[in-house]
Amino acid sequence: MALMDLPRPGQIAVKNIGPFDLGRLARLHRGCFEDGWSRSDIAHLLSLPGGFGLIARCFDRGFSAIDGLRGVGFAICRVVRDESELLSIGVLQSWRHRGVAGTLLEASMVRAHQAGADAMFLEVAVDNVAAQSLYERYNFKRVGTRLDYYHRPDGRKISAYTMKASLHGPRSLPGQS
**What is the reported pLDDT for 70?**
79
Cα(72)–Cα(61) distance, integer angstroms: 14
Where does the pLDDT of residue 94 fall: very low under 50, low under 70, confident under 90, or very high at 90 and above? confident
Tallying the residues shown for the chain, one arrives at 177
Full set of structural domains in the chain with CATH: 8-166 (3.40.630.30)
Amino acid at the residue 138: Y
User: What is the tens place of the pLDDT at every residue in 76-92?
Assistant: 999 999 999 999 999 99
Task: Calculate mean pLDDT across residues 52-71.
Answer: 73
Contact 163, 146 (CB under 8 A): no
Report which secondary-structure segment, H or E, holds 14: strand 12-16
Say what the pLDDT of residue 171 is. Answer: 40
Q: Please, which pLDDT band fits residue 61 given cuts at 50, 70 and 90?
A: low
Q: Where does the pLDDT of residue 147 fall: very low under 50, low under 70, confident under 90, or very high at 90 and above?
A: very high
Q: Of 69-73, 88-92, 122-126, 141-145, where does mean pLDDT reach its minimum?
A: 69-73
**Residue 63: pLDDT band by 50, 70, 90 thresholds?**
low
d(C-alpha 76, C-alpha 16), whole Å: 10
pTM confidence score: 0.83
pLDDT at 169: 58
